[in-house]
Every structure is written in structure tokens, then in C-alpha cells.
Structure 1
């Protein structure tokens, strides 16, 4: 029997819009077809057994009062099962409707399993070249009536008309066969994404940006292999990834040549765009500095403070305990006074739980000038810990090198340089750097890299031409 001569159940539902797991049906319409012929229609409001959010009411017009006397899904489950029995389940963006209905049956302890066809993907294949494949814009382009938009019956009637047109297109038989194959993963591909955009992704390191219909960035990710990583989003069964895929209309990618720059670029773009579906790296983290000043007694005093614009700040940390720990080590090494290192002591610095080697400046037993000599030595030691270096990485092509610059212990940015260009100093390297802002996340990325690679590919102070 011809594939297009099957029984089809064209379905549309309205829901409470609370994600896949908590999404409940408020209205359903099913049109049963045999080939292009309409056999039967069923439509009803459904009590979702939870409150309908205001934004859903403003979209669909369905409010809590309208569904107060409607049947719950359990009351209509038998009819839904009958209307779709022995049918291919058809919907515009089929995974959404199908998964919501399947979850409703699962709540009742029943399995719901049907073959599926998506009119979005069928339309892309059989009616190429449309500006948009959303139901509203597609129907408008094709001259298909769409009345009572965002209500189950109105959207189902329009989908039926679209589906009838698809059934009458040339080559529809082979296309339907392809999409009905159980091994075909096309059904999980974002319905609004042009496949040519995915096809352009390279098997190389970089950053990718998912954008919605308005070209707003909704997710930023990094990858060692861009094509493979992006594809993994499309085939996951997690609710968050599924919902994100329903919003993806465009993909942009930025080649980086190496994973380290991909990580740094990802952190920078998340901070810039604050994307809807990125959870990590969005929360701002405080930065702390070890700073120094001369107090009223002329003694050089150290402290840990939040980053502002201190001229006397020496070292920046993104964890206060790390800053205090470094200050304690400095105090012990240079025999400084815990009191004048702001390390929570009473008048008697000997009360510090760990540091006991103060020479008595706090008791006027040591000259301030002698104490300040050691304090200045400590300052120089801190400054020396702020190394200047670059991390050399592969470039975006085999003829290119990449350099990540760290100056005075702070991440400055990265740049790509042709291998024929000779660079012999950090100053020359700076001319090729795309300047970036350091933050907690870039600090952690670089620290993790240094710990993992134990100094490999790191060049201090001077550079040899590559």
C-alpha cells in the first residue's frame, strides 16, 4: 500500500506551557484522515488540573474559568487513543504535541506509541525556499486559511490543509518513506533550523551560538568538534535541550583553532549576551585584591579588599579565602605583623592562631623603618608573582599560531598570527591581541589549564620567532 494512502491523525494541542515535564494539555483537536480525505474530527477543552499562567491565557485566550467544567485528560484518554489508533501521528512540530500526549498517558500508567510525521520537516523537504516554516507564515505564503490562531481546532484545520497539499506534491512518497524510517534521526532536528546552517559547521574547535527567530542569542557553547557537539544537543532527551531546540532558528559559529581559546571565548560571550539557556557562568563573582597603604603611624599595612580602583592593589583573587591565605603566607615569610596585615587579631598580635614571628613593631619594639623594609620586600615578592607570559596554541589553520596573553597576572586576550611573522617579545605580541576583560571564569579557565599542562606551551617574558 502507498505510504500516502495510510490513515493519519492530524493533531494540535494547547498547553499550560510549563516545560515538557510539567506541561499539561488545556485543549486538543484531532482530525482523522485516510489519505487526503477527512474521516472524523474530535476537539475538546481539557482541565489541566493546575492553574493556567497569564501569558498562556494572553496567547491562546484559554483561562482557568473556561476549563473549570471541562473533562480531565483521563476522561478523554480513551477517545484520544481511538482517534489515533492505527494512524500515523501528524503535527506541525510533531515532537512537541506527541511528547506531551505521551506524558499524559504515562501519568495514567499507559503507553502511547505511534509513528510520527512532522509537517515542518516535510514542508522543508517538499516545499523548499520558504522564508519561514512556522505555521502562521507558511500558511500565509501558501494561501492557506488560518482562523482562530493558537487554538487547537484552528491550528489543526490549517495543518490538515497543509498536509493535504504535501500529500499531493511530487516525490512525496519517497519523502514520507524517509521520514517514517525508525532509524532516521531527522525527527529530533530543530524544526525551524535550515539544515544548510548545520552543514556549514566544521569538525574543528570553536564556539557556537544558537539564536531564536529574532536573531537573539539563546545559548552559547564551546566545542573541540563543532559539528559533533551541536548535533549532540539535537539528539538529547532532556527537557531543557528539547525546549531550546524548538526556539533555534539560526546557528553562528566562531572557529578558534584550539580548546583553550574556545573556553575563553565562550566565557566572554556568555557574559556579553547573558543567554536564556546558559546556566553556568552567568552569576557574577566578586573579586578581591591584596592592597597596601601607610597607616597613621607610617607603617605599611596590608589588607584584603573588594576590587575597586585601588592604586596600591597588587594581586587579584576571585576567592576571598585564597587572598587571605596568600597574605598569611606573606606575613609568615617576611616576619610581618598579623595586626598590620589585617588578619583578625586583638591588640596583641601573638593572639593569631598560626603566625607567631612578629618582631614587635606593634609594641614599638621594632623600628618602623626596619619593618617597612621587609614590608616593601613583601610587596616586590607579590609583584613578582604576577608573571607576564603567553600561552602558545594552534591557530585556525596550519599556517597560523595563536597566543593567549597574561600580563601582570591578568588575562589580556588572545590573537592569531601567521607563522611567518616573527615575534620576539611580549610587547610585540600585544599588537596582535584581541583585548578581552578578565573575570572569575577566565581566571579559573587559565588556572585549570596551567595546572593540567604543567607549564607546557607557556613562554615567559620573551618569545622566540616561530
Structure 2
């Protein structure tokens, strides 16, 4: 396996607007340098003064240098099947991709970041910037902010990590989207333009039929994961059909879950049925035993016809919740399924349990505490807003619950954050509550992660 360790100098600005002014690529097998390709590049635009001060590359130096399109074929041939490596690879790799895209060519290859890999393989450094890290490691860096100097220092860093933990280093190789597995009609540029934000994404086939709906806190990364999926037959079959990707930003993860749930029920996409995986497979259920005591226990939601009080992403999360409420509400571990036994629970002997497990505490007294917990979970008859992140920094997302029922959600400018309830109600788009939405709201209110509850 070969590695193409690369550094680019550019005109600055965003990745899309940056133009390469110099590049240096070293081919290595991980132990020694095999070949080198270094060149100045005419960016066909003026180099900003502050960039020239940083890199030492000015307009005069690149005036007679080859333009990128004159070097493009040579670069591709030089890199070949080597793994593209750079310090902060997201910048160099995507600038190079942008240059090729301007020529109508889609450049994609496997790549590896020496920043990410160094943090794991040689941990404990205060900074992982190339200059500071190489200085601490005793790696000579001649010509900082020139492509050859930075690339050569990155080679030395890479060789050090390769020698230390070769297999672990190779685990950081990232596969890019593989076009041969995808529909030829999919526009790759639209995938690049998807934001790294919370929302709902939708896949359409060539007949303009909606085939899959998903939700993520980072929709760009999640969409790319779908397109790179070559491990499961169903995933590959779906990615072959995708021609168009659309998305709705929600800001709030709670709203994303609700929006996803509503859209799936409305459109019933084919691959949502095939790839369906319960996000919250475990539920908390209640029943009254023969002695009149309310019992609580965890079970798989899909095994039950009755609605759970709340849901959990895994059993461990459910048990952790139960441990907390048993202590808070002084409940019996036997009657909550945490201590299976035919006699008294262990906590009765340590006087932490009042004896409901063996009939020592009256059912009416014990059940009052269980009902307080259930009422807390169910928020029956409560009026409140859930305040969450909006779609941008100037906005809040709000969800309205009135008399214990979900009413809808909307978005509010932050400067309206004055508690004017009527004004808040005006921005709410109404949606009918169903079991799934109630479970989503119930879970978010219970966890209270990143949200605020405002009662009215």
C-alpha cells in the first residue's frame, strides 16, 4: 500500500473559493519516500497580501507557473491508487476536489488525516497543529507554510506513527462515496452542499418516488454513510436507486423525530419498511398484580399491544432510569423488576424498602408513590412549551403541549423570547398527536437534554 502525503498552499478563503498556489506530494510506503511531485501553480487570480505574507508566495512567483488544468492529469496519475494523506485532510482533499470539479471531473479517493490519527496514536500533546506537534516530537520543519516543507514534515510524522502502530493508523483511512455503486443520475455536488445540521433527509428514485426518510443531528454525514454503505444488501439496493436527495432543517432533534415520524406515516417509503429499526426498542410498562400492587417492568415495545409509559434506546438506559426512580420514590426493587425473587427483596432487609414485596406496606400507600411517578412521566393535564435550538442562531424552536396533549411546533425569533404566550401560540403549526409522537415528547421531557421546559 502506498500513501500520497500532500500539502497545498492556496489563495485563502472558503474551500470552494480557494485556488491552489503550490502543492507538494510525497509517495511513501510508510517507511521511506518513493517519489515526489512539487510545483507552484498559477491560480489565475491575485494572491491576497496577507496570504503572501504568510506563505511567501506572491503573484510574481506564480505568474509563469503552470495552471491547475495543465497539471491535473499528472497529479491524478502520480497519486494513482495511493491513500491521500494530509495534516487536516478535510481541507487539502476538498480543495483538490473543488479544483477538479471546476474542470468537470469528480475526484474521489480514500484519505487519511494525520491530525485525527496523531491524537489517538501519540496522545497527550497540548496542540496537534503541524508546527507545534513536530517541534515537540523533534521533527525538523524547514519552510513552514510552504507546501514542500509542510508535506515533508507530515511525511516524518506519518512514518513515526506507521512505525509505532501501523494497523491502528490504517484504521483511520476513510472511504469516499464510490460512484460505481450509485445511480448515474445522482448529482454528487448536491451531496457536498448538504449542511452538517439537524434535520430530516429524503431519498427519491428516478420515478420521483420517495423511497426513504431519515433523521440525523448531522444530515450530511448520515446521507454520506448511506451512500457509502456497501456492507448490507438492502443498503446497497437502496443507494443504487437514489437519484435526488432533499432535506428539511429542524434545528431541534425533537422536531426532527416528529417530522420524520409524520412523513414516514404519510408516504410509507419502501426502504423505511425494509430497513426499519426501532430507535427505542425498550419500554416501561405498568400492571396491577393480584394483591393490588402496581408493578413496573421493562420489556420490548414490539412484544406488547399496550403503550409504554416511556421508552429507552437500550435495556441499560432503562435499568439506569429505574434505579434512579426506585431511590427517589422509595419503590420496591422486586415490584420494579430489578430484583427477581419469590420472597422479600434485599432492600427490605436493609430497611430501604417498606415491605410492599411481602405485603408489609399497604397497596394503597405504595401505589400512591408509583402513581406520582407515572403522573410525572405522563405530564397529564400539564400546559408547557419545550424550548429547543432553532435552525439558526437567531431562532428558537418551540413545541406546545396543552392539557397533556401535543399541539404542534414552530419557530420563534430569539428577540420574541419574552414569555408572551399568545405570541408563542401564533407560530405553532398544529399536528395531531399519536402514540409515536407522545413517546418522542415523553422521552425528551424525561431526559431534558438541551431543552428548556416553560409552563403556562
Asked if TM exceeds 0.5, the reply is no
Larger radius of gyration: 1
| TM-score category, normalised to shorter length | 0.3 to 0.5
Structure 1 length-normalised TM: 0.41
